[in-house]
């Protein structure tokens, strides 16, 4: 297969290097039917693994349409190479830095959320923090907490409920929701999953939706 393949879908620019199999079997989180967009959205730290396999098309539209297995097959990857890629992705996820299973909300942010909830007549609802496929975040009001989510609140504003799933907390555990200059911000701080100064999850402005 030639370098620099230019075709729709996942672009494979090089074949992967064979790795020595780990003696410890990692838990299977990502499977071959996940799309690249889903993988990067949930676990952005695995982009280096994808890049090693020549999968650089993280942001294109096709990355959210075809599974990683379909894309790899379309560019000549063998079934063995696909299995190796999935193993390496799960190994990288298994060795993620452990993040606290907590979210903190400042009093000003809690009061700001309450004000919006009253205006939108959803003051009895909770606010769920969700991850988009591209790795950004949004917050939406919902009537009920979903299975697997954990509830957080500020002690002075207990009626404002913040919900986040375990998967979301793997990305942003320990983060602080603040209100600055009229905008809600999600500040992750130290221990970011990518630990780089240009990491977008150090401070994000999640969209708040009803």
Confidence check: pLDDT of 66 > 90: no
DSSP category for residue 4: S
Last residue of a domain, one of 42, 68, 94: 94
Last residue of a domain, one of 36, 65, 94: 94
* Separation CA 202–CA 170 (nearest Å): 14
pLDDT interval class at 8 (50, 70, 90): very low
Same domain, 63 and 12: yes
CATH code of the domain in which 21 resides: 1.10.3910.10
Same domain, 125 and 192: yes
Residue pLDDT, tens place only, 111-164: 999 999 999 999 999 999 987 766 678 899 999 999 889 999 999 999 999 999
Same domain, 107 and 89: no
Same domain, 85 and 167: no
Same domain, 70 and 140: no
Same domain, 79 and 3: yes
Q: Which helix (H) or strand (E) holds 36?
A: helix 36-42
Mean pLDDT over 87-111 rounds to 88
Same domain, 115 and 82: no
The full DSSP string for 69-117 is HHHHHHTT--HHHHHHHHHHHHHHHHTSPP--S-EEE-HHHHHHHHHHH
Which pLDDT does position 128 carry in this prediction?
94
Same domain, 81 and 107: no
Which pLDDT does position 119 carry in this prediction?
95
Same domain, 116 and 201: yes
- Residue 161, phi then psi, degrees to nearest 5: -105, 130
Confidence check: pLDDT of 46 > 90: no
Which pLDDT does position 17 carry in this prediction?
55
Same domain, 109 and 81: no
Which pLDDT does position 19 carry in this prediction?
52
Which pLDDT does position 103 carry in this prediction?
94
* Separation CA 128–CA 17 (nearest Å): 41
Domain that holds residue 82: 1-94
Same domain, 90 and 116: no
């Amino acid at each position: 297969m030639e370098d620099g393949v230019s075709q729709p879908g996942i672009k494979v620019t090089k074949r992967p290097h064979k790795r020595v199999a780990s003696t410890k079997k990692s838990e299977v989180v990502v499977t071959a039917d996940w799309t690249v967009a889903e993988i990067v959205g949930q676990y952005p730290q695995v982009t280096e693994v994808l890049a090693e396999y020549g999968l650089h098309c993280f942001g294109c539209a096709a990355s959210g349409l075809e599974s990683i297995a379909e894309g790899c097959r379309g560019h000549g990857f063998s079934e063995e190479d696909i299995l190796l890629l999935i193993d390496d992705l799960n190994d990288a996820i298994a060795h993620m830095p452990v993040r606290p299973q907590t979210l903190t909300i400042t009093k000003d942010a809690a009061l700001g959320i309450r004000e919006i909830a009253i205006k939108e007549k959803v003051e009895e609802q909770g606010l769920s923090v969700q991850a988009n496929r591209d790795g950004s975040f949004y917050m939406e009001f919902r009537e009920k907490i979903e299975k697997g989510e954990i509830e957080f609140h500020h002690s002075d504003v207990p009626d404002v409920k913040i919900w986040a799933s375990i998967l979301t907390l793997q990305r942003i555990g320990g983060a602080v929701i603040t209100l600055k200059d009229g905008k809600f911000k999600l500040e992750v701080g130290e221990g970011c999953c990518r630990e780089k100064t240009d990491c977008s999850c150090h401070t994000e402005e999640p969209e708040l939706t009803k």
